[in-house]
Every structure is written in C-alpha cells, then in structure tokens.
Amino acid sequence: MKLLLALLCLFLLTAWFDGPGPGITGNDSGGIIPYPLVASHGGNIRAVAQAMAAEHCARYREFAVITSIHREYGDYVVFECRWSHSRPGP
C-alpha cells in the first residue's frame, strides 16, 4: 500500500513539473502562449495575442508587452508583464 501511494505521489509530481500546458503558461514576469491557440481565434494574430497576454498580466496588475511571435505551428508567442506601458530606452 505504501509503495502504491509513493508511486502515485511520484506520478503527480512529474505531471506537475511537466512543462508548458495547453494554454497560457506564465507568472508575474511574463509567459508564453502556444501559437496554434492564438491562431485558432482567427483575425489579427498580434491583436489576439495582445488581448490574451493582457488578460494574464491583469491578474498581477501589470501591462502585457509582446516580445516575439513565431508564426509556426508548435512555436509560441512570448510576452512580458511590466509595471508601466513604457518600453526600454535606447
């Protein structure tokens, strides 16, 4: 019984640390969105990605800034959550 419980705990821990999930993955500093998820909404890819990232960053009372969009199946849209709208200076 103890062995079964230990294996179950090990399975749950490996599932927890498996990596990016099917949706937005991130925290208060930013995150990634799978490109197919963004593309499935149709329309302007940048606008859809910006809206999804803004919704994520709003949980932390921050603003989303898209840093890269790789327009290939299996890649990600990367964003940062920042305290203000300003971009870094030159």
pLDDT tens-place values along the chain, 90 residues long: 776 666 555 555 544 444 555 789 999 999 999 999 999 988 899 999 999 999 999 999 999 999 999 888 889 999 999 987 665 544
**How far is residue 86's CA from residue 62's CA, in Å, rounded to a whole number?**
12
Q: Report the predicted TM-score, pTM, of the whole model to 2 decimal places.
A: 0.69
Helices (H), 1-90: 2-16, 35-39, 45-58
Token digits for 55?
């919704």
Q: Would you state the pLDDT for residue 90?
A: 43
What residues form DSSP beta bridges with 65?
A: 80
Q: Would you state the pLDDT for residue 28?
A: 93
Q: Would you state the pLDDT for residue 19?
A: 52
